[in-house]
Each structure stands twice: as structure tokens, then as C-alpha cells.
Structure 1
Amino acid sequence: MDPAMRHIWKRVFYRLHRTLIFPKRNNSGHAEHTAFPASSHSKCIKPTLLVSRLYQPSNLRDVGQDSRLAGEMTCKSQRLMQQAGLIHPSNPGCYYYLPATVRSMEKLVRVIDKEMQGIGGQKLDMPSLCSADLWKTSERWDLMGKELFRLKDRHGADYCLGPTHEEAVTTLVAHQTTLSYRQLPLLLYQITRKFRDEPKPKFGLLRGREFYMKDMYSFDVSEEAAYQTYESVCQAYNRFFARLGLRCVQVQADTGNIGGTVSHEFQLPADIGEDRLLICENCSFSANVETLSSNRTDCPQCKTGTVVESKGIEVGHTFYLGKKYSHMFKATFNNSQNKPTIAEMGCYGLGVTRILAAAIEVMSTEEGIRWPGLIAPYQVCVLPPKKGSKVDEASVVAEELVNTLGETLPSLRGEVVLDDRTQMTIGKRLKDASRLGYPYVIVVGQAALEETPKYEVICQQTDETMFLSKDGLLDLLGRVETV
């Protein structure tokens, strides 16, 4: 076929393809969905993910330039997440989690599940509504003070909304009177909403009144075995943060109202952090300032290193509880002599929503979100050219690329979105993509129409821009780790 005829057929194919892929828009800019032809096969076709259809603002507010809004945004992660339509305030300390945030949280939960189940954790779900009788037995009903959300049912019975579940899980295990030493260690965990009546909720998801947490509880045959379990959980936490690409410091901590004899916090160093940390420059020693004298400059571990103060965001906490709760609630197992024996316990928490916000806080720029790659809501955003531009026909190539990525790279199925808002310039959509933090943004322009097509690929985590062939692009994205 001569070049002229090839060009004519290319234009015909482009116009037909564009009618099917990009629906006409009404005066408000919304898609007229009747532009998609009905088909008996339509239920079998998985639609392309279109930015215009995502329940998320398409025109991101620059709250940093609005003095009233900026005054409400007390940290970077809160400003960026509200600006990007990831969260929306409901009432003090409570937020709507919008679809992109839920996608990210679900991925985060899958990473947590893998690490917890990798050390023998078994997932369950306990009631958020907890009887006051359990908390009175542990004497924490009064100890927790105003931080505990309390309520009465229609019969006048007292309850609380659980901020943590030591009482509940120990009662559960205590009811199993046939628990054998052969079944230990027993590690039970859940990922649920928690409630704490913060006096001054702030920093968005970093300090709220309602939040998601992973809490795990261990039951062991002896103190020695319990310490081994404790260490295995701490190692799993360190692997978990390493998988996310987050620099996390494990520090000695106070046991607080949870109780026990040993405790460690997992802290992300950050200027916005509310915890003060002391870290030795010479050895592995680190501690929350609560556990040491704040004016101490020498290291109690190596004796020679200098202790430097830093701020941190607490994203995890572990406790060796001993028999504090198991003795109260008579949580026993049958030992090798078939005698009832009190179990040794530990408890271990990860702030799921706090990790999400803290990761954005420490990784992002002032202008845009940068996600840990594993938990980005979507991995790739493809930008076709502006409608009516000289390279308008590259829109067909963009749609074909989206389909190719999903078909060729199974790990990216459901991870690639097409920014079909072609009434907007590439520059404007690039700015939105930067703010939303897609790890990879692919611009399909003139170079994609050449005999050897090239795609502009922007890696947002590294600020690197590359021009790749289709094979080079597939090779790059084929190495992307997903969960």
C-alpha cells in the first residue's frame, strides 16, 4: 500500500476507534455514555480505567495558596491528601477515605498479611463494641480516662469503642479450655477500625479519633519462648518497612497504659513527628526520650558514642506483656503434664492509616505525592495528546498501549489508567499526575507515531524522564513489584 493510502486508512481507523474509546462530552465536560454502542458482548469486556470516571477531583485545589485552607492544613501529608481528593474531613479527627485511598490501604493490608502470616499469624476479627466489664477487670476502664469512647445500651449496660483489644482477645483464648502447649505459640491478629477520643486531633490521618490498626496478640508456653516470638515480630516489622522503602528506627519505649516489661516503638524520622528520639551515632542504640534523661549526651549501650536527638512519627509499637492479662482472665493452656498453665503474652500494633499518611509525609515533595511503589493506588497513568492537536491521532496509540500493558504484563492489570480528559493540555494533566503521585506517567505524543515508536516515560519517585521503545517500556514496567 502506498503511503497516501496508508495515511487515509489510518485516519479512518483513528476516527472510528476514537468514537468507541472516548465518548462525546456534553457542555459540562462529562462523558455522554450513550456514545458507547450496546453489544451483547459488552458484559465480557473489561473497560479501560479512565481518569474522568474516577471519583476524585479532576481540578486539584492548590490549598497552599488559599490562606484560609492553608491554615487548616497543619502538615504536608494532610494538605496533599485533601488537595488530591484522597481524604475528605467528616468531623474532628474523622475522615472519608476516598476510592484511591482505599485501593492503597488494601494493598498495604496485603503486605501486612504476608508478613504476619509468614511468622504464623492467624487473622480474625473482634467486635469494636467492648463490654465495660472486661475493661473494669483489667482496671483500664478508669486508667484510660477520657481517651476511651464510652456509651450505654438501651438496658443501661456500659460499653466502650475499642482502642485496643488485649482484654477481648485474652477472654477469647480463655474460653478455649482445651488449648494445648503443642498449639503454641498462638499469634492472633486483626486489622480493624479503632477509636480514641483525642483531645486535639490534628495532622490528618496521623492523629485522629477513628483509624485503622493492625493489632496482634501472642500466647506462649514460657517467658523464653515469648521473647523469641517478640523478636520474630520485631524482625517482621523491620522487613515490612524495608519492603515499603521506608527508613524506620526501632527504639526503646515506655509501656504506658498497655503494660508489660519490654516495649519498642517503630518510628519514621520526620520533622512533623511528635516523639523525641535519642539515637546513638556509634552503635545501634536508640530510644524514645521518655525512657532516658532528655539531657543525656552519652550512649548507655556503647558508652563512647554521642546520642543525637531526632523527631519521629510512631507507626508501630510492640509490648512484652508477660502474664498481666492472661492471669486476670485465666487464659491457660495444658502443658506437657496436662496441667493448666498461665500463658505468656505479647501484643504488637501497626497504625495502618498512620503508615499511609506518614509515608506520604516523608516521601513527598511540597507539590506532589510520592507513594511507596508497592501501595500506590495505580502504578501507571497514560496521557494521550490534547484533542484537536497536530498529533491527535496518537490517542489511538495511547488506548492500544493501555490494552497492551494489561494483556502483556498480568501484574499491571487494573493498575493502568488512561487520562482521557483530552480537552485539557498535556501540561495541565502532567501537573495533576505529579500531584497524585502515579509512579510512572507515560506521555504518548508525536514520537509514538514514528516508524519506531517512542514513549516519554516519567518515573515520579526518581524524577527521571526517559524515551523508550515499546519493548523498552515493557521491560521497565515488567520489573514493577505489585501486591
Structure 2
Amino acid sequence: MPSMATLLRPCWPKLLSCLPRTQVNPGRCQSSPVRLDSRVGGLGSACRSPLLVSRLFQPSNLRESKDAALDIRAGEMTCRSQKLMLQGGLIHPSSPGCYCYLPATVRAMEKLVRVIDQEMHAIGGQKLDMPSLCSAELWRRSERWSLMGNELFRLQDRHGAEFCLGPTHEEAVTDLLASQGTLSYRQLPLLLYQVTRKFRDEPKPRFGLLRGREFYMKDMYSFDASEEAAHQTYQAVCQAYDRLFHRLGLRCVKVQADTGNIGGKLSHEFQLPADVGEDTLMICGNCDFSANTETVEPGRTDCPQCHSGVLIESKGIEVGHTFYLGTKYSTIFNATYYNAQNKPVVAEMGCFGLGVTRILAAAIEVLSSEDAIRWPGLLAPYQVCILPPKRGSKAEDVGSLAEDLCCGLEELPNLKGEVVLDDRTQLTIGKRLKDASRLGYPYVIVIGQSAMEEQPQFEVRCQQNEETMFLSKEGLLDLLGQVETV
């Protein structure tokens, strides 16, 4: 199969042939998008104006702690991800435990949801969307209206009917299934999931998106014909979670866990080891046993599974949780299916959660340095940032190549909409490199004088491994043509 560079090589003469005839207007990148149609050879009709850093909404005043004061008062800015996301203009505190997700964060979250959708669809998941406003009557039937205590946000409508803002949706989805009286065993297993905002009245929200009162979660609910089938579904979802975190480059540990107020017979957490984590884990150094300390006998240091390994204590951030519920909810709400003998049978259930916004923050927490964000490659808001020379520098006459390069890279199928041009040419390359590192663009291309040589060379900084390379145009296309995106 020909390389990406071979396939796209015809574009480059069109990109570069116009450069000797192009005069640079030092002021054209200051505030408005540049029209390329009249300038760039045969690519004008196919290219849109480049996406300019000066036009991105990432409020610079968040880079200092003045505007973070509200967040500090809400719960002490004591973790890396909270600091980096505030300083980078990725989130803005609205009230304790609640945030505005700014455009770059929304892009990253949408990418994460696409990856989640891919993995859920691969195991037969079907996406739906249930109301955030949940009837108190359903929660009273499951007896969780009082069990959840102050964690529930409760309210009444003008007629006095009581509701809560859903922290989870076991009652709602089971009632939905129960309303479908003709469900057949041939339709099972049934896996229904959603990605929605959840609400929990945390007594002390902190750590930014790691512990909030309003957040995004993926919650899936399974319905099976037997306990054996439910366990098979349980394992299938756990394996999908393993694949998801592997694709994101996150080393998550699956640990046995308490079922808590969700209930059920079996539960596991997916924990991302981190010093800032609020959960304490016990991990065997000799086998694959790992558990939340809530499920281990206090003071125990020997492994209950292999009996020879020593349990090592670690902190973790919970990013996923799975439950085998059995018939806890389906019995209460009479969620049944008709078996092969046309007899109604109570369905076996499972519940599977992923903290969407928590995964974003946790990934930044464990992958980043103290002053620079590092995203999982698939989730970076933009993959490539191009830096033209500083206005007035000796290399300014090659500044137009940055826009042409931006247009050319957008021709790569995997980079459509993934390239930004840092047009703030009043700033030095060093200052813009620092900003690019802080915001976590995986690839930063610096346009210098070497780009105008007979055999052009482009300086490429790979932020994930902090490697700098000087590549020809073919090498650049080959490198960036292999970047995986969603």
C-alpha cells in the first residue's frame, strides 16, 4: 500500500509553487481569518480558512489564580489537573462543584464520547437519553429516596409533586422496560446506555472535575434472561472497559468493590492509580488480585487469592464502576420478559458506569507535568499547532508557508478540523511554544528559514515524548498521516 506521503505528494507542488510569488502582510493574522482562495494554487476551492489561535475562546485571565479564587474557596486547588485546566482556560468555576466546560474541553469530551460509543456499540449497546428530572415515586418504590440521604438534589414542581435530579437511573430504566409488556427472550440481552449530566450534592466538592456536584457520566443497564447470561454480559462490558482504557493509554486497575447504595451481588471499580486519588486500594504483587480496602479485612496484608503474595497499598481515582444487580430492581418494578414457553420471567440486570468528565481530568492528572497538559492522544482537542515566525524576524518571509501547510494538512483525512495556526506573530516563538506545551497539542510544527531551502525541513515537536525532529515534507506527511483520531 502506498504511503500517505505518496498519495498526497501531488498537493505539495501546488502548496509550495506559490511561495516565491507571495508577499507577506505582517498584519493580516491579527484578528480575522485569512482567505486562501486567491492565493493557494489548485487547493483554494478545497481549503477553508485556517483555524486561528487568536480566535479560540480560552480566556487568558484564567492563567493566574485571580479568577480561580472561587474554585479555591469551594474546595482548595490542590491537584495538578484542576490547576492546569483552570490555567489553560479549559474550565471556569461557576459555583462550588460546578463548572463551565470551555470549547477545548468540550472537543475533548466529545471525542471521548465517540470512543465510548464505539466500544459500547461493539458489544451491542443501544444509546438512549432519559430525563435528568426523576420522579420521587420511583425512588420511593426502590427505597432509595431515603437511603440516598442528602446526596440527592430534591425539588417540587408547582403542583407539589416531588422529583430529584438524577445521580443515576436504575429506577427510570427499569420502569421503562417494565412498561414494554411484550419483551421477548429473543431480544435479550438488552444493553441500554446514555451519556448525560448527573447530579450529586457532594458535602465537599474538590479537585475540579474529579469530585463535582454536576458531571457527565456514561451509564449502561443490561437485561438478561438468566444469571449465567448476566455474568457473560458483565464480563463483556468489563472487557470493553479494558479496551477503552488501553486505547486511551491509561493504566487502569480493575478492583473488587463494595456495591454501596446501588446494591446487587457483584461489583468492580476501574481505578487509575494516582496520589491524589480518594480511594485506597490493596494490590497483590504476586497475582492479579486487587481490591478496594472497603472489601478487605482490616489489617490484612496477605493476598486472599494466592495466599503467598503481599498486599501493597495504593491510592486510586475511580473512573468506572460495574455492578451485577440480579433482580433487585426488576422485581420491584416487574420488569419481565416472555421465555420460550411464553411465560413471564423477571429479568436479570447489570449496571455499568464511566465517569466521562472524571476520565478527562484523571488522564490530565496522571499524564501531565506540573506546568504542561498531556492528553491521551485520541482526546487532544486539536492534534497539530503550527507556529509561523515572529513578525519582524529574519524568517518572516516564510510566514505564508504556515497557512499553506495548515491547508495541506487539513487534506489528510485524519486531520480534518484538527489543525490550528498560532497567528499571534507579535509573540516570540518561545512564548508560543510554551503556550502550546501548556495546552497539550500533541504535535507542534515550527516554521523557520529551513522550510524555504531547496529541500525544506520542518521542525516538529512531539509533545507526548518531548522529542524534536526535523522532517522533509514527505516525512511530515508520513508522520501525521498515521496519527489516530476519532
TM-score (norm. length: structure 1): 0.92
Residue 470 of structure 2 is matched in structure 1 by 467
2:371 maps to 367
> For structure 1, which runs of at least 5 residues remain unmatched after alignment?
1-8, 26-30
Equivalent position to 2:206, from 202, 209, 213:
202
Partner of 1:252: 256
Aligned: 1:149 with 2:149:
no
1:165 is the counterpart of 2:169: yes
Matched, 1:451 2:460: no
Distance 1:36 1:304 in 2: 69
> Equivalent residue for 1:57?
59
What letter corresponds to residue 219 of structure 2 in structure 1? D
Q: CA deviation at 1:345?
A: 0.2
Residue matched to 1:23: 28
1:88 aligned onto 2:92: yes
Corresponding residue to 1:436 among 420, 436, 439: 439
1:476 partner letter: L
Instruction: Supply the AA of the counterpart residue of 1:458.
Output: R
Question: Which residue, 358, 362, 367 being the options, matches 1:354?
Answer: 358
Which one of 80, 83, 88 corresponds to residue 79 of structure 1?
83
How far apart in 2 are the matches of 1:334 and 1:86?
50
Q: How far apart, CA to CA, are the structure 2 residues paired with 1:249 and 1:371?
A: 19
Q: Secondary structure at the match of 1:212?
A: strand
Offset at residue 74 of structure 1 (A): 1.6
Deviation (angstroms), 1:13: 1.4
Give the distance between the partners of 1:401 and 1:431, measured in 2 at CA. 21
CA contact (8 A) 2:19 2:400 kept: no
> SS state of the match for residue 155, structure 1?
coil
- Do the aligned partners of 1:52 and 1:58 also contact (CA within 8 Å) in 2? no
Deviations 1:98-156 (CA, angstroms, capped at 9, x unpaired): 00000000000000000001000000000000000000000000000000000000000
2:13 corresponding residue in structure 1: none
- Give how far 1:208 is off: 0.2
- Residue in 1 that maps onto 2:307: 303
> In the TM superposition, what is the alpha-carbon distance from 1:14 to its structure 2 partner?
2.3
Question: Partners of 1:308 and 1:159 in 2: how far apart?
Answer: 44
Change (3 A) 1:166 1:24: closer
Q: How does 1:254-273 map to 2 (within 5 A)?
A: 254-273=258-277
- Contact map agreement 2:71 2:93 (CA 8 A) in 1: no
Secondary structure in 2 matching 1:438: coil
> Normalized against structure 2, the TM-score is what?
0.91
Query: Deviation at 1:23?
Result: 2.5
User: Residue 120 of structure 2 is aligned with which of 106, 116, 119?
Assistant: 116
Per-residue CA deviations over 1:341-384 (Å, capped at 9, x if unaligned) read 00000000000000000000000000100000001000000000
Residue 14 of structure 1 aligns to a residue in which SS? coil
**Paired residue for 1:479, among 468, 474, 482?**
482
Change (3 A) 1:356 1:229: same
| CA displacement 1:180-221 (0-9 Å, x = unmatched) | 000000000000000000000000000000000000000000
SS across alignment from 2:393: coil
1:136 maps to which residue? 140
Secondary structure of 2:396's match?
A: coil
Q: Note if contact 1:382-1:418 (Cα within 8 Å) is conserved in structure 2.
A: yes
If asked which structure has higher relative contact order (CA below 8 Å, sep 6+), I would say: 2
8 A Cα contact 1:320 1:347, kept in partner? yes
Look up the match of 1:290: 294
Work out the CA distance in 1 between the residues paired with 2:99 and 2:436: 23
The one-letter amino acid paired with 1:350 is L
Deviation at 1:398, TM superposition (A): 1.0
1:186 alignment partner, one of 187, 190, 208: 190
Q: 1:425 aligns with which of 420, 425, 428?
A: 428
Alpha-carbon distance in structure 2 between the residues aligned to 1:308 and 1:329: 42
Checking the alignment, whether the CA contact within 8 Å between 1:395 and 1:444 is kept in structure 2 is: yes
Cα distance in 1, alignment partners of residues 32 and 402 from structure 2: 21
Question: What amino acid is aligned across from residue 228 of structure 1 in structure 2?
Answer: Q
The residue matched to 2:436 in structure 1 has which SS?
helix
1:55 and 1:468 map into 2 onto residues whose CA distance is: 31
Residues 133-142 or 291-300, more deviating: 291-300
Structure 2 distance, partners of 1:114, 1:76, is 30
Q: Distance in 2 between matches of 1:37 and 1:248?
A: 45
Distance 1:86 1:449 in 2: 36
Q: Is the 8 A contact 1:189 1:215 kept in 2?
A: yes
Q: How much has 1:57 moved relative to structure 2?
A: 3.1
CA shift at 1:177, angstroms? 0.5
- Percentage of identical aligned residues: 72
The residue type paired with residue 14 of structure 1 is Q
Instruction: Work out whether residues 29 and 424 of structure 2, in 8 Å CA contact, stay in contact via their aligned partners in 1.
Output: no
Q: What amino acid is the match of 2:254?
A: Q
Q: Please report how far the alpha carbon of residue 68 of structure 1 lies from its aligned counterpart in structure 2 after TM superposition.
A: 10
CA contact (8 A) 1:364 1:371 kept: yes
Describe the SS at the equivalent of 1:353: helix
Q: Are the equivalent residues in 1 in contact too, given 2:442–2:462 (CA < 8 A)?
A: yes
CA RMSD of aligned residues (A): 2.2
Amino acid across the alignment from 1:345: M
Shift of 1:321: 0.2
Question: Residues 91 and 170 (structure 1 numbering): CA distance in 2 closer, same or farther, change over 3 Å?
Answer: same
* Alignment partner, residue 105 of structure 2: 101
What is the alpha-carbon distance in structure 1 between the residues aligned to residue 263 and residue 208 of structure 2? 28
Q: Which amino acid aligns with 1:54?
A: L
C-alpha distance in structure 1 between counterparts of 2:116 and 2:352, whole Å: 12
Give the 3 Å change call, closer, same or farther, for CA 451–57 of structure 1 in structure 2: farther
Supply the AA of the counterpart residue of 1:48: P
